[in-house]
Amino acid sequence: RKEVEQDPGPFNVPEGATVAFNCTYSNSASQSFFWYRQDCRKEPKLLMSVYSSGNEDGRFTAQLNRASQYISLLIRDSKLSDSATYLCVVGGFKTIFGAGTRLFVKA
Amino acid sequence: GAVVSQHPSRVICKSGTSVKIECRSLDFQATTMFWYRQFPKQSLMLMATSNEGSKATYEQGVEKDKFLINHASLTLSTLTVTSAHPEDSSFYICSARLAVTQYFGPGTRLLVL
């Protein structure tokens, strides 16, 4: 089993749609959680940290369920510019990156 | 947010030559930096963890004599790809850790002919 697993994707959605990404992690001792975004041929960029209480940043909402070792990212009102690969990242002794989920938002 | 720079952004070299890539944290000090490699349409692969003032920790399967890492100061880590071969062509990305968050450099595209 991979240490961090994500939906394989790709997700193809129309503009304005709501899309949800899921991620599970295997190490219960993990302490920090993030979503990164990576555009084609670019470096990953921090999208948001994920807190146990859940957190929201504009159209983006992240949730963490420590008991289930599950992280989610919800994107509302998708824009064309949201098209990218979304990486689930779990930190602890080591930082582990998920393989990423590709999102394509179509006009 | 924290800024990490990487230089060069792109390099083309002949097989057998060595290439040095620099990673700098511009507005913070980083005792730990990371080096990743990413092949087209594949996920990031951690190559090594660079620790200021001590030896780097390499991931399994990464040759430490081929990928030399030096972290001589709190703001600079270098990766040298020695005797580069075409199969070393890839996107090399560094990151620096500030508290628990990693910030990435813009990456270096290496093409070995």
Percent of chain A with pLDDT over 90: 80
Is the pLDDT confidence value at B100 over 90? Answer: no
User: Pick from A42, A87, A91: which is nearest to B100 by CB?
Assistant: A91
User: Pick from B1, B102, B105: which is nearest to A95 by CB?
Assistant: B102
The two tokens of residue B102 are 């990693």
Contact yes or no for A45 and B104 at CB 8 A: yes
* pLDDT classification of B61: cutoffs 50, 70, 90: very high
Contact yes or no for A46 and B103 at CB 8 A: yes
| Cα end-to-end span (Å), chain B | 37
What's the mean pLDDT in A70-77? 97
The backbone torsions φ and ψ at residue B72, rounded to the nearest 5 degrees and listed phi first, read: -80, -20
User: Pick from A43, A89, A97: which is nearest to B106 by CB?
Assistant: A43
Name the residue with tokens 């959680």.
A33
What's the mean pLDDT in B86-109? 93
Percent of chain B with pLDDT over 70: 99
Contact residues on chain B for A97, CB-CB shorter than 8 A = 43-44, 46
Question: What's the confidence (pLDDT) of residue B16?
Answer: 96
Rounded CA-CA distance A42/A34 in Å is: 18
Contact residues on chain B for A98, CB-CB shorter than 8 A = 43
DSSP for A9-24? --EEEETT--EEEEEE
Write the pLDDT tens digit of every residue in A16-29: 999 999 999 999 99
User: Pick from B43, B100, B105: which is nearest to A43 by CB?
Assistant: B105
* pLDDT classification of A11: cutoffs 50, 70, 90: very high
Is the pLDDT confidence value at B1 over 80? Answer: no
Contact yes or no for A45 and B93 at CB 8 A: no
Percent of chain A with pLDDT over 70: 100
What's the mean pLDDT in B80-97? 96
* pLDDT classification of A1: cutoffs 50, 70, 90: confident
The two tokens of residue A74 are 């919800």
Contact yes or no for A43 and B93 at CB 8 A: yes
Is the pLDDT confidence value at B7 over 90? Answer: yes
Rounded CA-CA distance B57/A61 in Å is: 35
A34 lies within 8 A of chain B by CB: yes
* pLDDT classification of B99: cutoffs 50, 70, 90: confident
Give the closest-approach CA distance of B104 to chain A in angstroms: 6
Question: What's the confidence (pLDDT) of residue B38?
Answer: 92
Contact yes or no for B1 and A49 at CB 8 A: no
